[in-house]
Amino acid sequence: MVILICILAVSGAYLLGSIPFGFLAAKAKGVDIRAVGSGNIGATNALRVLGKPAGIFVLLMDVLKGFAAVWLGTLLAEKFNVRAEGETLRIFAGIGAVLGHNYTCWLRFKGGKGIATTAGVYLALAPWALLAALAVFILAILITRYVSVGSMLAALALVVTVWVMTPANLLLGLVTTALGALAIYKHKSNLQRRRAGTENRLGKKKEAQ
């Protein structure tokens, strides 16, 4: 029974996470965001291609769908009276949301990098750890002016702070480590551009994020 509920939570969370708000916001303006800027459907590319209002909208929606996915896990635990497994359902729902964003079924399983959606997940699961990661993100961008560097360092910081702050929650620690590795892997093109010296800094009209 619990396994079936877990599958339901992950599936529902995946569908939530797979909503490509960046693609939809650009489509509403007659733009295919995959063909402009960095080609990414996330908030950073939306900000540069569509402007601040649309970029902020995409950011908030991507965060919200991660948060809502965890809430879905809580809702299912209460509905099916398996509150003891509620934390497990919440964590697996969070995984589903991030995978949905990164590999959305609506765009041939090509999505974003999952940073904002992961932030929404951890806003619900581990808000203090997220706050520490956010501080690292902001500081890294202020120093380097690279969003990609800030994102990767924030992913690493989130892994460390989750293990430090919630050492008893082995599942959360392992999942956070896996999601952190996935976030860095999704930035492989940024790393290649950094090595080639072609990665653009924040503030330029074009940035390969």
- Percent of the chain clearing pLDDT 90 (strictly above): 84
- Give me 70's structure tokens: 């965890």
Each residue's pLDDT tens digit, 34-91? 999 888 999 999 998 999 999 999 999 999 999 999 999 999 999 999 888 999 999 9
Q: Which residues are CB-contacts of 104 (< 8 A; sequence separation ≥ 6)?
A: 17, 18, 19, 20, 41, 110, 111
- Domain boundaries defined on the chain: 2-196
Q: Per-residue pLDDT averaged across 16-25, rounded?
A: 98
Rounded Cα gap, residues 119 and 127, in angstroms: 9
* Residue 195 clears pLDDT 50, i.e. is over it: yes
| Torsion angles phi and psi, residue 204, rounded to 5 | -85, 160
Full-model pTM:
0.93
